Structure formats: C-alpha cells, structure tokens
Structure 1
Amino acid sequence: MTDANMINNPILKGFNPDPSICRVEDDYYIATSTFEWFPGVQIHHSTDLANWTLLTHPLDRLSQLNMQGHPNSCGVWAPCLTHHDGLFYLIYTDVREYQTDYQVRKNYLVTSANIMGPWSEPIYLNASGFDPSLFHDDDGRKWLLNVLWDHRPAVSIHHHSHAKNFAGIVIQEYDPNQKKLVGPIDNIFKGSDLGLVEGSHLYKMHGYYYLLTAEGGTFVDHAALFARSKNLLGPYEIDPQAHFLNSASHPSSSLRRSGHGDLVTLPNGDHYFVHLTGRPLPYRGRCVLGRETAIQKVVMSSDGWPRLAHNHKGPEQNVPNSLGVASDNKLQTEHFDFCKDKLTLHYQTPRIALTEPVLSYDAKPGYLRLLGQEAPSSLYQQSLIARRQQAFCFTAETSINFQPESFQQMAGLISFYNTQKFIYLCITHDPLIGRALEVVMATMSGSMRYPLGKRIPLPAGDIKLRIEVEYDQWRGSWASQSGDWQPLGGYIDYSGLADEVDAEHFTGAFVGLACHDLSGRFAPADFSSFSYIEHE
C-alpha cells in the first residue's frame, strides 16, 4: 500500500464523537452525537472511507427532540445507525440531566427508508441507561443493548467504586411489529477491571457473537474492548490481550482519548473501526476541537480476535485504505454573502431551531437577520447560529448592521463552547459613548469577564468584525466599511473552550453569529456576510 492510498485521521474533524458506522452496499454512513445542538445527530457519507460529506441531521423536529432547558452536554448521546431489510434504524438517547447520581434520560428509535428522510416520529424504548444500540440477528430477531445505570452508593453493590454507576450492558428484544421492547432483560457483560463500561455494539462473525464496548471514561484512559460468546446472552469471554485500542498505551500518538467506536466490514471482507478521539492543543493538553472521529484498519488474529492492523494498541494518524483512495486533506473555506447565500448544514443552534421571524433571510433583503432573545447563558431560547471549529487555526469574519438602544442589547461574532464557556465580540450600547464594541467572556461560576476592560466607540454604518484563532490564542479586531482593521490588542486564552476545563463536558468549540436582547424587545441584528477560513 503506497502513501497515495492512506486515510488521514481524524476523518471527521471537530466535534463529532461516538461514531456509529453503517454500510449499505458501497455507501458508508457515520452517525455522531450532537448533544445540545439542534438539529440532532450528524450523518456523514462516504464511498471511499477517506473523504466524508455531511449529509443530513435526521432529528429535525421538536416532536423528535426538544432540548429547551437541557443542561450543557445533555441532549443526544451516542446514536446507533443500522440498516436492515431496506430500512434505516437510528437509536438515540435524549439526556436531560447527567451530573447527579440519578441521571434523567430516555432512549428512542426513529426509522426511514431513505437516509435523507423523512424520519419517523420517535418510538420510546426505555430509560435504564444510555448508549443504546440495535443488533439485527441472522434469525430475524432484533435486540437492544444499553448501559445499565446504577444510581446507588458504591457500598451497596459489588464492583469497582469508581465505576459504580456503570453496572453492565443489558440486552432486551425489540419487537418491530409491536414497536416496543419485549421479554426478559439480561445483564450480559459487567466489563473489565478498567471499569466504566459503555458504548456497546454487537456483531456476529465466525460463529461468535462479538460484543464491543468502550471503557475507562472518555478522557485520557478511554479504550475499546472486545468480548465474545457462542451464545447471544453469554457468558462473554474478554479478549485475552484486553483492550485492543487505547491512546494511553501509545503516548507519542497525536490522537488521544481514543475509544468508543463501531466496526464495519467491507465487501471484500476487510474490517475497519471508527472511534472517537481527541487532538489536544500543543503543550496545553486541552481539546478545543472536542472529540473527533478517526478510523483504524482491523485484522483478525489467528485465534479469532480483532486487532489493529498496525500491531500496537495506539491509534495511527495515517491508515492504509483497502479501497485505494487517499484523504484529500483540504482546509475548509466558507464565505456567505447573504444577498445570495444561506448558511449550510454545518450550522446549528443550541437546543431548538431558529425559525421565522427570529432568523430570517427575507426581513431585510441582502442580510441574515437575527432577533435578539435571551442571554448567551440561557438554556432555553437564544439567537445563536454557529459551526464547529475543525482546525486549530482559523479566521472568522462578519459584517453587521446593528443599532442597539440599550446596554442589554448585543450582537456580533461568538466563539462558543457552551453557556459557561464562550468569548463574545459584540456591539452594544453605552450610555456615555453610544454604540460601542466590547468583549464578554463567560466563566464557569456564571459571572462574566470583560477582558478589554473598556468599550470602544464605533462610527456610524455597518461594522466588520473578525476573530483570529491560533491554537490557544484568540484575537479580535474590527473595521468600518471603508476603514482599516483595528486590532483589539493582545490575545485571550482560548484553551478554556475545551472539554477538560472546570467540569466534565463533552462537546467542542463553535464559531458563529449571535444576537441577544436582555430587555425582551427583540432588537434586530442584520448580517450581510460571514466567512470561516482554516489555516495550517
């Protein structure tokens, strides 16, 4: 295999965790978690495993997914996409609360004959845990697997205290005619000594049921493990070499925290494993890009266990492609002129859709209008539309027409991780100087910081705003329509927009457009353009 046939990881850059892969003839689809971002679930498509295109968000109606009020990093966890007898099955968890012992979540199923939809209304399955997946056995029966969540204190149960809540993988039959789970519930796998067993998928190969799980938590000790049994309900024997993938065993890899994933078999019988991974900022150890999706080639050992083809357990950045195609590795460049363009599928909103009149391409011709809603800390209704950051270095720009009448009104460019981690370059109103520019930065305590320490008076007319990010440095600048760019000076530590900072969150940094009106008067901000340009 020559370098011309190498897949470059990650294959889905930026926040795209918990991949589930599905092959239909020569088409490959990967579904990934979207957490509190709407519409729910990202599905990418490829015909060559190396180059992927965002295809659709199947959960696009509030009847399928209403996340108003969901805390940060709740919403859609770990979707599972399968295809059987001409129908796509998409299983997902809607998590409403995860940071207490109890948790609140429900598992659902939607189906569609076409990957592009329309997808059905959700079928409720259960609420006993998360990371559900569907297995289609060759006898025609279907089985749902998920983590069993145990809320009780560790002293009352008999396994590792650090993993007390992760009480094993349970399985129950799904009846497609009755559209519900039926029959007994069996706990088929308690996991290995690493603990925190989750992310299960089941496969039937070579006369065995192979159970794939993730373990070790989704940070530095994350890993993937196979166990197998001749019988669906076990007992399951753990791979004698233990976890076949873990970044901790290969500290020189640029792909860290690798684990949760899914296996796909090519028409020629070759196997590939897609898995979540994270690329920390150089020298900072923080993953502002969130958890991404990578791929590894898998071979079967002489005694029938899946192994990474490169003969060690660490993930590789460059992987040989049996399909003979290389990754194009293009940096992304997007420019939208709202005289003629609309934002693409890459742009999502927190928790609910933004529809007319809150988001409008028609209210002011040539502009995208956002009506200001609740604060950027709101878990309910705020006017923010953004895209994933997918490279360590990028520039984002916009041109905005905004005439605030109150200090409670603000609009501009936002670098947004969640309601507790963001940097907002915004135009507002100052009673002493009139229209002004300021930078607002969120803190985990719920208070706001103002790193500039001042507001900058702005001239009349449309204003151009620019964000430049280089690894962990965030810089802002502005210009009048006819003037030169005016840098704000210095930089802000951007690394705070990461999973690892202050609390366990699971998404990634976004950049986009926002308008907020804390007075409740729905002040309009009109954007004439937006661009996102990645750099080496």
Structure 2
Amino acid sequence: MTNMIQNPVLPGFNPDPSICVVGDDYYIATSTFEWYPGVQIHHSKDLINWRLVSRPCNREALLDMRGEPDSCGVWAPCLTYSDGLFHLIYTDVKRFDGNFKDAHNYLTTCETIDGMWSDPVYMNSSGFDPSLFHDDDGKKWFVNMVWDHRHQNNRFGGILLQEYCPQQKKLIGEITNIYKGTKLAITEAPHLYKHNGYYYLITAEGGTFSTHAMTMARSKNLHGPYEDDPYGYLLTAKDNQDLGLQRTGHGDIFETSTGETYLVHLCGRPYKGATRCVLGRETGIQKTYWTEDDWLRVEDAVTDGLPKMQVKAPNLPEHKWPKAKERCTFDEPNLPIDFQWLRTPYPETFMDLSACKGKLRLIGKQSLGSLYEQALIARRQQAFAYKAQTSIEFDPVNFQQTAGLICYYNTSKFHYCYISVDDDGNRFVDIMSCLADPSLSLVFPLRDGHMGEWKTDARFALPKTGAIHLRADVDHHQLVFSFSLNEHVWNKLPVNLDMTILADEAGVGEGCHFTGAFVGMACQDVSGQQCHADFDYFEYLELE
C-alpha cells in the first residue's frame, strides 16, 4: 500500500518554505515575521511526519525586531547544506509600508541544525527573499529580488545575482539582474538549481494571495538569458478557487534519497465558502517529474500545476515522532518549543519559569498595541476547531493591569479574555477585541455610547482572590470564551466572536499582512508597576 502525504504538512502559520536534504534527513525552514525566536525549522525522515526542531535566530546578534511593524521581521529564509555546514539566509524587514522596504539580508551557519548558529554575515539590503546557490564548481551565488522604490517603476524589479566569497565573508563581483519575470509579475522568492546541463530559476509570482503561483525559467548560462517555462505555471490554484489548497506558490524543489523529485510550497486553506485563511499561510508538498524536454511538472495533476491535498510519498520507512503533550505544566526550565513571543531578544525581561515552581510568570509590560515590549507567550493555531485553556493567578490593583487568554493575530487583530479590577478593587473577567483595522480599532461601540477597543457586554464579577481558569472554544469562524473557578463548572461569556478577523485577508489594506492566528497568555501593566500573573498550565486540544 502506497503511503500518502497529507497536505498541508506544516499546518498553521508556516509560510515561504525552503527545504534542505542531508542524507536521510529533510529540513524545512519557514518565515516567522515578528515572532521570536526567528525562523522555524521542521525535521522529517519520510516527508509525512514532521517535528519542530530549531529556531536559529535566538539572540540579539542574529535578530532584534523591537519597534518593527506587524508583518515585518523575518521573511523567506533559505536553508542549504554545503561544506559540512548548514547555511541559513534570512531577511530582517524593518519597514514595508510606502515606497521603501528597508530589508536587510544575512547569512548564518552551523554544523548542526539545532546548535549555536554563527553571528550573522551581512549580505545586502537591495531586496528580500534571498537564497544561496552552491554550484558544482565550488562557487556560491546569492540571489534576491530587487525592490525598486521609484514611483514610475515596477516595484518588483527582477532577480539580482552576485557571487558570495566564504573566505572574505562578503558578496563580491558584478551584480547582474538575470530575470525580470513573466507577465503575471510580482516576481519574488528566487531559488537556483542545476539539472541536466541547465540552470533553473524558480520564482513566486502574482502576489501571495489568490493569484499566487510558482513559475520556472532556465538557461545554459548562470547569468542568463533565462527562457520561461512554455507549459505555464509550475504550480498555482489561481484559476481553480474551489480547490482545498489556495494561495499556492512560493517554494523550493528537492530530490529525495530515493531519487524522486518533489517541491515544497506555500498554501492556504480558507474557510469553506469564504476567502479568509485564519490558519495563515501553510506549507504543502507536491510530487513532480521531469519531462523529456527537461521541464518540471506536478505529477498526476488533471491540469498541470494544480495542488493536491494528498500526494504519493516516497518509498521511505515511516518515521513517526512522539506526540506533543496537549497540556503544558511549565515544569521544565525552558519554554516548550511550540511557544513564541513578539520581537524582543530578551524574554527574561517579561517571563520567568523559576519564580513560582511549575508556573509561567509573566511580568506586565506594554499594551497589546506595542511594537516594543509585550508580555505575550503564544502558540500557532493549527486546526479549524480547537480548545485552549489556562489557569491564572492574578491580583491586579488598578484598572491598568490586565492578564488573560488571547487569540491573537497582530496588534490590530485580536480577541482577549482578560482579568482586571474596577475602581473599588473588585476583580472581573471581560473581553477586549481589536477588529482587524487600525482605523477601526478605536471605533468599537461600548454600552455607554463611547468608542474604543473595548467590548464590555461580557463582564462578570470574580472572587477577590484565587486562581481563575479561562478557556477559548474555536469552531471555524466562531470563538467563545468561558471562565471557571474550579475547572469543572464553566461560565460562557455571552458573546460570539468572529475568528475571521484573525486572518491575513481581514481589514482595510488587504494583502498587507502575512502571518496567522495564535492563542496564548498575556499580561499588561501600562501603569509601569510591573505586576505579574502566574499561569499554572496551558492546554491546546485540536478538535478538527
């Protein structure tokens, strides 16, 4: 019986995949944007079962994103292996609104995938989506799309090529624009390969939403000229909006240890009958083959280039990983790998796993709209339906102190079930929502007719002391929060919340956000007194 790969192989926010094969091991690197540590790397031995093993950009020397806007940070890493080293190329985008991007590209290396990666080598800042190609003559070549800020020009100005010298640790020689793209335009995500005497250039085009596609060109000469694939797109769902996988494009091709060729690619799964992908941009795999005239095609597609939910796996031994615990009790000295935080390389300033044994302590920091210091620990939403639950000990002394359970996309898209205190010192639980657009986040109507982020119809009184259990029940587009004093009797807050705002596509300026929904724990103290909240456990249970 043929084993099958079920797409997406990396569900939830795992975009812009780059794959590296080392012997019998397969590693996929994906973008993390403003989430810290930067770059996710998953490991597999059979292309079916994957586990998260590393986030290399885990210290200030490699990444500091404090102050960076939403959806900036780490874009489109490229992971390769050569000369006994893993090579990781990544972009740190400091700004992308307006004409300029301010995208800085770096290289870091390591002998092992989960070791201490080297301090970064600065490459350039001419554009984003960089990658490194190791030619068979020993030379190394760096490519990236070039960003053209001039108002009369195409912003996506082509693919730049330049040699990298590992001895000098810098780019050297002439910079060449080797490819301008196809008529679909928005040409980005370049990767170079060599096969049967040709240099192949894979790019992503059409933007990362419904018109996304993966395209291919080739040349006998590394510097071009490159001819476009006469078959059209290597992979796209742009003309087939009924497929289960949408937004397919940005990816990488590879050969298995059994000699078969596959590709990894970005994809999204919108709600049925809708266009929003709350799970964000995910990673899928498709099986491919080389034609007699040396072009790559997706295998078994009714029409060339259509992505499939199930794909034939290579003939490799099945290798399952231990199943992750559904309930984390914070008994270990380090945060479980599923969790991340926002922007800062200094988590010790807002979290502590030793202050209260078996608990995660969050020290209240700035507001949920801050781009600098937030006390927020969260994990990806990876299923359409799930239950998340936590227990919190929190004794606020003023209204500026809050803590609780949050379903979060970014600073302008979230639903927050929080505990605070009124002017008489009485604790309560309530919901705060920010509704997908900075211009709307301050116009949510309150009961008293004023305008703001707050939704107060759900307020319930709590005992003056004691732990409070909070729960989020997500069923596709709907979210309901509940609280309990004993984890047995639950009180639902009488508000059905719209989960679809936690999507790239939500809000004015659609197409300007690139991450996915998270669920986690948070604590704020905008009075500056640094109150703290202790979380006893965090449970995440997927239901569909």
Q: TM-score, normalised by structure 2?
A: 0.94
Q: In structure 1, how many angstroms separate the alpha carbons of the residues matched to 2:319 and 2:7?
A: 9
Q: Which amino acid aligns with 1:46?
A: S
Please give the alpha-carbon distance, in whole angstroms, between the structure 1 residues aligned to 2:288 and 2:63: 35
**Structure 1 residue aligned with 2:449:** none
Match of residue 499 from structure 2: 494
Give the drift of 1:267: 2.5
Distance 2:331 2:59 in 1: 28
Alpha carbons of structure 1 residues 437 and 113: separation in structure 2 relative to 1, 3 Å? same
Q: CA deviation at 1:113?
A: 1.1
> Which of 524, 532, 536 is the aligned partner of 2:540?
532
Could you say if the C-alpha distance between residues 230 and 360 of structure 1 is closer, same or farther in structure 2, counting changes exceeding 3 Å? same
Moved over 6 A (4+): 326-332
Equivalent residue in structure 2 for 1:239, among 229, 237, 240? 229
Structure 1: runs of 5 or more not aligned: 158-163
Q: 260, 269, 277: which is aligned to 1:279?
A: 269
Match of 1:160 in 2: none
CA drift at 1:333: 5.4
Give the Cα–Cα distance (whole angstroms) in 1 for the partners of residues 145 and 371 of structure 2: 27
Q: Is 1:462 the counterpart of 2:467 in the alignment?
A: yes
What's the counterpart of residue 449 of structure 1? 453
Q: Which residue of 2 aligns with 1:161?
A: none
Preserved contact between residue 258 and residue 315 of structure 2 (Cα < 8 Å) = no
Could you list the per-position Cα deviations for residues 258-297 of structure 1 after superposition, in whole angstroms to 9, with x for gaps in the alignment?
0000001112321000000000022221011100000000
Among 166, 171, 180, the alignment partner of 1:181 is: 171
Distance verdict in 2 for CA 1:200–1:254, change over 3 Å: same
Q: Which amino acid aligns with 2:478?
A: Q
Say which of 314, 319, 325 aligns to 2:306. Answer: 314
Q: What is the letter of the counterpart of residue 355 of structure 1?
A: P
How do residues 372-383 of structure 1 correspond to structure 2 at under 5 angstroms?
372-383=364-375
2:160 to 152, 166, 170: 170
Alignment of 1:297-446 (within 5 A): 297-311=287-301, 312=303, 313-324=305-316, 334-339=326-331, 343-353=335-345, 355-356=347-348, 358-432=350-424, 434-443=426-435, 444=437, 445=439, 446=441
Note the C-alpha offset of 1:358.
2.2
Matched-pair contact (CA < 8 Å) for 2:6–2:309: yes
The answer to whether the 8 Å contact 1:411/1:427 transfers is yes
CA, structure 1 residues 176+324, in 2 after alignment: closer, same or farther (shift >3 Å)? closer
| 1:295 maps onto 2:285 in alignment | yes
Separation in structure 2 between the aligned mates of residue 181 and residue 482 of structure 1, nearest angstrom: 58
Question: In 2, Cα distance between the equivalents of 1:274 and 1:358?
Answer: 36
Identify if the C-alpha distance between structure 1 residues 179 and 408 changes in structure 2 by more than 3 Å, giving closer, same or farther.
Answer: same
CA distance, structure 1, for counterparts of residue 102 and residue 372 of structure 2: 18
Give how far 1:330 is off: 11
* Mapped partners of 1:153, 1:326: distance in 2: 53
- Give distance in 1, aligned partners of 2:121 and 2:91: 12
Contact 1:394 1:469 in 2 (8 A): yes
Percent identity between matched residues is 50
Q: Which amino acid aligns with 1:149?
A: W
Distance in 2, Cα, partners of 1:341 & 1:438: 32
Question: 1:312-345 CA deviation, whole Å, 9 max, x = no partner?
Answer: 2210000001225679799975201235686411
- Distance between the aligned counterparts of 2:236 and 2:222, measured in 1? 26
Q: How does 1:494-513 map to 2 (within 5 A)?
A: 494-502=499-507, 503=509, 504-513=512-521
**The 10-residue stretch of structure 1 (341-350 or 385-394) with the greater mean CA deviation from structure 2:** 341-350
Q: How much is the aligned-residue C-alpha RMSD, in angstroms?
A: 1.7
Please state how far the C-alpha of 1:468 moved relative to its aligned partner.
0.5
CA–CA separation in structure 2 for the residues paired with 1:25 and 1:219: 34
Counterpart secondary structure, 2:10: coil
Structure 2 residues not aligned, in runs of 5+: 443-451
CA distance in 2, matches of 1:470, 1:280: 14
TM-aligned CA deviation for residue 451 of structure 1: 3.2
Asked if the contact 1:339/1:528 (under 8 Å) is kept, the reply is: no
How far does the alpha carbon of each residue in 1:220-268 deviate from its partner, in whole angstroms, 9 at most, with x for none? 0000011000000000010001111101233331000000000011123
> What is the deviation of 1:355?
3.3
SS at match of 1:495: helix
Structure 2 equivalent of residue 27 of structure 1: 25
2:74 is aligned, of 65, 68, 76, to 76
Q: 1:507 corresponds to which letter in structure 2?
A: T
Equivalent-residue separation in structure 2 for 1:90 and 1:482 (angstroms): 45
- Once the 2 structures are TM-superposed, how far is the Cα of residue 302 of structure 1 from its aligned partner? 1.6
Q: What SS does structure 2 have at the residue aligned with 1:356? A: helix
Structure 1's 336 and 267: CA in aligned 2 closer, same or farther, altered over 3 A?
closer
Paired residues of 1:276 and 1:294 also in contact (CA < 8 A):
yes
Measured in 2, the distance between the counterparts of 1:61 and 1:342 equals 15
- What amino acid is the match of 1:140? G
Q: Quote how far apart the aligned CAs of 1:481 are.
A: 2.4
**Range with bigger deviation, 320-329 or 127-136:** 320-329
Task: Compute the TM-score of the two structures, normalised by the length of structure 1.
Answer: 0.95
From 170, 182, 192, the equivalent of 1:192 is 182
Match of 2:206 in 1: 216
1:520 aligned residue? 528
| CA 1:476–1:348: 2 relative to 1, 3 Å | same
Q: Secondary structure at the match of 1:168?
A: strand
Deviations 1:158-192 (A, max 9, x none): xxxxxx10000010000110000000000000000
Deviates more, 1:381-390 or 1:350-359: 350-359
Question: One-letter code of the match for 1:89?
Answer: H
Give the drift of 1:126: 0.4
Q: Is the 8 A contact 2:365 2:524 kept in 1?
A: yes
Identify if the C-alpha distance between structure 1 residues 356 and 168 changes in structure 2 by more than 3 Å, giving closer, same or farther: closer
Contact 1:78 1:93 in 2 (8 A): yes
Corresponding letter in the other structure for 1:197: T
SS in structure 1 of the partner of residue 238 of structure 2: helix
Q: Displacement, 1:78?
A: 0.3
Distance (whole Å) between structure 2 residues aligned to residue 359 and residue 395 of structure 1 = 24
Q: Quote the Cα distance in structure 2 between the aligned partners of 1:347 and 1:470.
A: 22
- Count residues in correspondence: 526
CA distance in 1, matches of 2:501, 2:237: 23
